[in-house]
Each structure stands twice: as structure tokens, then as C-alpha cells.
Amino acid sequence: MSVRRLPSQRPPPSHSRRRIRPSSAISPRACIARNRPRKTAKRDPRRGARADPRSAPHTSFVPGFAPGHQSVPRTEIRRIGMTTDSKAVQPDVVVDELLNDLAQLPDVTGVLLGSQDGLRLAHAGPSMDGTMADRLAAVINGLYSIAHGVDDGEGRVEQVLIRKSSFLLFIMSAGSPPSVVARKAGRDPKKVESVLGVLTNTRADEGAVGFAMVDLIKRMGELLATEARVGEAPSGDGQ
């Protein structure tokens, strides 16, 4: 005896069957990530649209500008520093600044620029007033003359050092002083030579003081060269 199935009881065809994965195959974390809404970044309208870097002008990085700030074009970068106008140089002011710089060294109590005939040209220092400077100018002139006459006046006196229990005195030849400084003292700048004297306490570093004196004399010589160029410059009136 054969059994016939009704049409409604026939199994579905094999090609329409779907494989259903068990629920344990998908982790809860994956389900949360899949169902989470996607975030879209919104740009602040106040910042404006981003510029294409290929169309931006060629710029150069300037120290002090933070990332995101507007950079400065290369053609706008300029060097800001000292002026090169030699007419703005005031020799007497520069000499005072040089002496003040030397007077600010540790253990230095006074600095004097005097002429070799015993007159004060300029001075600086906490313990160097006009009376003290006049007396010290005569002293260093005499000491320099004595040292110059030790070997019958031959050679150049590079340095004279006087050491006492309470102070040290350094003396060096400083060459020709600036003309403005010499004229203020009533001397002809072409006929007068200057001497540099530094007064310190006993704790001063002799090497550091000597090096500072040599540097000051060198810088004063550069000032004389600048002063000569200014004096030789044409006045512009055709004469």
C-alpha cells in the first residue's frame, strides 16, 4: 500500500532553504557596534572652509607661531636689529656705556679712562666720583710713566698691576681716545694718548679683569674707526 502526501505537506525545495545561524555566533558587543548611529564631524562655521594646501602661497616657518596660526610669507620676513647708520653713533655715549659695562663686573669698584698727562677723560663705578677719578688719573699716569721708563723707554707697556692688602689696580694703555671725549677734557685728540685704569677689591679674578680691559680697548678702537669714517664722509653740499 502506497502513501501519497498532500501538496500542502510537501517540503520546500532545497534551493530556497536559508541557514539560520545560532544566536550565540554573534557577540553582544558586535551587535551594539552595528546598531550604534554613525557620528559625522561638524566643522565650526566660524573657522571657515579649509584651504587647499596646493593653492596656498609659499610660506616660511617663523619661530613663535603656534601650529594653526597664519604663517608669514617668505618675502615678508625681515631682520630686526641694530641700525647701520654710522651717523647715529655718539662716541661719548658709547664710551660711557663701555666703562659702565666694565664697572659691572664682579669685585670691580671703579673704572677710569685718563690721558697720559694725568687728566680724567671718563669714569664709572660705584665708588668712583669726580674727586676720586681726578686723583686716580694722576696716579695711573705716574705709574705708567715709571713702567715705561724701566727699559729706557723701549717697547710698549702692556699692563701694570698694583697689589695692596685692600685693593688691586690694573693699568693698560688704551691708545688714542675718541675725539669728542678728548675735546671735553680740553685736549687735542691728535696729540693725546689714553690710559685705562680699573680698581677692584682683593677677591677679583685678575685674568677676567685683564680680558675685559683688552676687550674694552678693542671696542673703543672700533669706535674710533667708525668716528673716522663719519668725519671723512662727504657733507653733501658739493664741497
Convert the pLDDT of each residue in 57-99 to its tens digit: 444 444 444 444 444 333 333 332 333 344 444 666 778 888 8
Inform me whether the pLDDT recorded for 176 exceeds 80. Answer: no
Asked if residue 116 lies in contact with residue 193, where contact means CB atoms within 8 angstroms, the answer is: yes
Q: What's the mean pLDDT in 207-222?
A: 88
> Rounded CA gap, 213 and 173, in Å?
10
Asked if residue 201 lies in contact with residue 224, where contact means CB atoms within 8 angstroms, the answer is: no
Convert the pLDDT of each residue in 1-58 to its tens digit: 555 555 555 555 555 555 555 555 555 565 555 556 565 555 555 655 555 555 554 4
Q: pTM for the complete prediction?
A: 0.54
> Rounded CA gap, 172 and 194, in Å?
9
Convert the pLDDT of each residue in 24-36 to its tens digit: 555 556 555 555 6
Give the start-to-end residue ranges of the domains of the chain: 90-203+214-231
- pLDDT value of position 234: 44
Asked if residue 66 lies in contact with residue 49, where contact means CB atoms within 8 angstroms, the answer is: no
Residue, of 30 and 199, whose pLDDT is higher = 199
| Radius of gyration (C-alpha) of the chain in whole angstroms | 43
Domain 90-203+214-231, CATH: 3.30.450.30
Asked if residue 168 lies in contact with residue 161, where contact means CB atoms within 8 angstroms, the answer is: yes
